[in-house]
Chain A
Amino acid sequence: MTTATKTFKRNNGRKVDETREIRAEVGIIPNADGSALFAFGDTIAIATVHGPRTMHPQHKQDPKKGVLRCNYDMLSFSVTERKKPGPNRRSQEISKVTEWALAQAVDLDDFPATVVDVNIIILQANASTRCAGINAASLALAHAGVPMKELVASVSIGKIDKTLVADVDKEEEDNEEGDGATDIAMSFLCNSEKISHIQLDGKITAKELDEAIELGWKTCQKIKKIQEDTLKKVGEEK
């Protein structure tokens, strides 16, 4: 950690590398082949998986392997100012980066001409919704039994003024003091230790960004552990 870490005190009493309370559950939606809930504190994402099933329209089929298709959306009342129901530019972009974040973790070579549909909804939003969505999706894919090489874990690292923090909440995201807030959402392929998704908004030096990614990796290892523990519980109950 840099010396700057001491300057910003988090409003919520969290340590700089501490996420909000994480809640993870699988099997919450009976109709889906796989489903999961993942929450960072007040940010709650639900993901389902349907498939592999035949891809329609046919021209989108890949004769060599199955295709992963993601769809992310927020419920209209998940934010303080109502969001018009249905997809918009933001949700379509997030859907696409989510797809890219997860694509290398699944192995659909044995399912040519099929699609695996991942649908993510945000029930309640307090920043980091795409990261919660990706974590939920990774869990739901595993819960569905889709062949996977590894899990994907996602977190947003923030630079609030000059301090790096893990799992940014809305209040931190809106911080305007000093350098203001820089938000870096990132996702890791947990075994290959590679970054499958990264997005940044704000102002940050290359050196600080190196540190942010390191903090992201450390945090994602903790998240991966929670994902694994959640999946191990499947079938244990009753």
Chain B
Amino acid sequence: MNIENNLTKQSVLNYLNENKRMDNRKFLELRKIEIETGISKNAEGSARVKFGNTEVVAGVKMDVTTPYTDHEDEGTLITTLELLPIASEEFESGPPRIQAIELGRLVDRGVRESGFIDFEKLCIKKGEKVWGIFLDLYAINDDGNLLDTGVMAALAALLTSKIPKYDEKTEKVQFGEWTNKKLPLTKSIPITMTFYKIGDKMIIDPNKVEEISADGRLTLALSELDKRLVINSMQKGLEEAFTKQELSKIFAEAEKKHAEILKKLEKLE
């Protein structure tokens, strides 16, 4: 950690030690969430989500492809996330680096493991032809917590996607033309929350200054399965280790937060 970050961290800690945050939020309070869908007409579905000043756009494109040999009757999902140089002066163009790779994989795992997408319904001909979903995310402005913002954008894009027309005879997708059919989705909407540990304090939805001050983080994706809340994916990041008590507290808080965040998405149907 460089000198500048050390000073930043000290001022962030000064606030937290007084039970405050620099933008007057409570430790587990989210910033204002804005969701806008249908932002890019050529996509099967698209969305722009803002958590405060953090902004991510997500788009879904589909194509007919061959299934994986171990899942012959299921569609496929490929998720990418790009940290565009427009989003922060720290991001450079070029092949994705570890931060973008990790974020993309975390979005992918949350969506995949929850069973939110009913992949079997994306099968056209077993072993030969299935629909492939490309879920592409782009950071537009980074003011911390790109991950949770990105997952929200991904969900909003998936929820509003329409399947393109497919000509059975020519076996070609008619790009730019859509059926009325939505993506086959289930009720298991994977809400992702990342908890950040700074000193001995725990916060969610950090702004950029808080994020670079963090010692440890824990990401969880939760969804509903038969009216139970289940954890679908989890990842601990950064060097700081957590106690068992800290983890228990995070799990309990995540369950409480789940409903609050879900409400924002249910309006999108």
Contact = CB atoms under 8 A, between A and B. Distances in A.
Interface of A: 29-32, 35, 42, 44, 46-48, 50, 53, 71, 73, 75-82, 85-87, 117, 119, 121, 123-126
A80 B136 contact: no
A212 B152 CA distance: 46
A80 B175 contact: yes
B86 A77 contact: no
Interface residues of B, number: 34
Interface of B: 39-44, 46, 53, 55, 57, 59-61, 63, 80, 82, 84-89, 93-95, 134, 136, 138, 140-143, 175-176
A53 B86 CA distance: 15
Contacts of A117: 85
B59 A85 contact: no
A220 B117 CA distance: 47
Q: Which of A31, A35, A77, A85 is most buried by chain B, counting CB atoms within 10 A of its CB?
A: A77
Nearest to B81: A85
Given A31-B87, A75-B57, A121 B138 contact: yes
Nearest to B139: A31
Contacts of B141: 29-31
Nearest to A71: B93
Given A31-B89, A48-B86, 18 more contacts: A29-B86, A29-B140, A29-B141, A31-B141, A42-B41, A48-B85, A50-B89, A76-B61, A76-B136, A77-B42, A77-B46, A77-B134, A82-B63, A82-B134, A119-B93, A121-B138, A124-B41, A126-B42
A124 B89 contact: no
Nearest to A120: B86
Contacts of A119: 84-86, 93
Contacts of B138: 75, 121
A73 B89 CA distance: 17
B176 A77 contact: no
Nearest to B208: A31
Contact of B42 (A73, A121, A124): A124
B95 A86 contact: yes
B80 A85 contact: yes
Q: Which of A35, A53, A86 is most buried by chain B, counting CB atoms within 10 A of its CB?
A: A86
30 contacts: A30-B143, A31-B89, A31-B143, A32-B86, A35-B86, A44-B40, A46-B86, A50-B85, A53-B89, A73-B84, A75-B59, A75-B136, A76-B61, A76-B134, A77-B46, A77-B136, A78-B43, A80-B176, A82-B61, A82-B63, A82-B134, A86-B82, A86-B94, A87-B94, A119-B85, A121-B84, A121-B138, A124-B39, A124-B40, A126-B42
Contacts of B61: 76-77, 81-82
A81 B175 contact: yes
A29 B50 CA distance: 12
Nearest to A51: B89
A85 B138 CA distance: 10
A121 B57 CA distance: 12
B57 to A, nearest CB: 7
A126 B59 CA distance: 17
Contacts of A78: 40, 42-43, 59
Nearest to A49: B86
A236 to B, nearest CB: 22
